[in-house]
Amino acid sequence: MIQLDPHKLPSVTFACGPAQGLASVRQSELFKTLFERSHRAADISYNGLYKETEDHLRDLLQIPQDYTVMFFPGGATPAMDAVLWSLTDKNVSGLNMGAFSRLWCQQLATRIPGINTHFLDVDFIPQTLPDTTADLVILTPNETSTGVQLPDDYLQEVWQKRSKNTLVAWDTTSCAGGRVLPPQAYDIQLFGLQKCFAAGGGTCALILSPKAVQRAQDMVQKRSIPFFLDLTKALEFAQQKHQTLNTPSTINIWMANEAARWMLANGGLKEMENLCKTHANYLVHWAQQTDWITPLVAEEKYRSFTTLTMKITHPQIQDKQINEALAATGILHLQDGLKKYRTVSQNSLRIACFPFVDEKGIEEYKKLTAALDEIAQQLKNQIH
């Protein structure tokens, strides 16, 4: 039985979603989220919370003014589905480089009747570009499961080599709010609010260029699109009233707004990127001093600094044992442990490096790594 001193353990969550919340949000009264108010009310939508959140996201992420911003109920997966159904004409291409990019490419795109798909399988380093002549190119700049990252020059090259009719779509769920991405190198960007913005699951931000808006209007004339996945009505509500077609989670939007407000007041996106890198760099440096763990993605250029996947190299230490030890502490925020994503085959841990995991630096990470070293040492002693 592994024993840990609870007084030496961190007091935050390192889970990759729903993620560690901003301290002031965690201490607030629920009524401040306006969760009892109608999402059609003027002081909630076009004269209130939704418009304010949109403005903060535009400012933080440097979203062009002619791009439409909307909140899509159901999280990133329904938004991915809506992008595919509403914005693909005849063919779609992209990269499979982890669980979430594979979800978009293989499990969602292949269900649309009459379109051709062309997807490249990538381990950790993309060797070639996807087909940049396709109607829609779908990319995941930071993969949540494996911790693979598409570097800026790769994203920019896809944008520069796209054909006249190509739309480029990004799923930035794992990095929006924590990484400075190449500006205006996309037509569509979507991200769940539960990672860097630390809101609950089930709400997605969806950003579309004028070209993407026009494609949605054209496609509704060409294909029968399920009501929930037809973006034309959702765009109409967003553009005219800053509202959603379906009832959203106002709590999630309120939490994201508080997070974006804090980010803007504390240095903006560049400082959030620096904070995520500080967290990730500390973990990488710590791993280099151990004899049992190392980053799964060896090359820094292709390694995400928002969600970091670490491979366990010691033959007698298993990720399941570490997670069981953390859960056995009885500390609720550690009971989810540092579990790898279910489709990742490697013996590994997944650690969130989002801004609010430790908004002041690395003190909570120091407690975490001390606990992990203690677990590893006790497991080694059991072997001997």
> Which DSSP letter does residue 16 get?
S
Full-model pTM? 0.92
Structure tokens at 81: 């589905």
What would the 3-class secondary structure string for 29-92 be? CHHHHCCCCCCCCCCCCCCCHHHHHHHHHHHHHCCCCCCEEEEEECCHHHHHHHHHHHHCCCEE
The pLDDT of residue 273 is 98
Short-list 216, 210, 146, CA closest to 174: 146
| DSSP-based three-state secondary structure for 204 | strand
Joined together, the tokens standing for residue 45 give 């939508």
Of the candidates 164, 129, 124, 168, which has an alpha carbon nearest to the alpha carbon of residue 142?
A: 124
The verdict on whether omega for the bond into residue 18 sits within 30 degrees of 0, i.e. cis, is yes
What is the β-pairing status of strands 188-192 and 203-208? antiparallel
Render pLDDT for 95-150 as a digit per residue (tens, 0 to 9): 999 888 999 888 999 999 999 999 999 888 888 999 999 999 999 999 989 999 99
Which tokens is 330 given? 């009885």
Task: Quote the pLDDT of residue 226.
Answer: 94
Q: Are 190 and 208 in contact (CB under 8 A)?
A: no
Q: Is the pLDDT of residue 70 over 70?
A: yes
* Chain segment 155-169, per-residue pLDDT in tens: 999 999 999 999 999
Domains and CATH numbers, the chain: 14-22+269-383 (3.90.1150.10), 23-264 (3.40.640.10)
User: Which tokens is 211 given?
Assistant: 């070209």
Give me the pLDDT at residue 383, please: 66
- pLDDT at position 342, please? 85
88 confidence band (pLDDT: 50, 70, 90): very high
> In the predicted model, is pLDDT for residue 384 greater than 70?
no
Q: What are residue 293's DSSP bridge partners?
A: 312
User: Once rounded to an integer, what is the mean pLDDT over residues 358-366?
Assistant: 96
For residue 262, the one-letter residue type is W
What's the pLDDT band for 18 if we cut at 50, 70, 90?
low
Q: How far is CA 254 from CA 55, 80, 96, in A?
A: 13, 23, 33
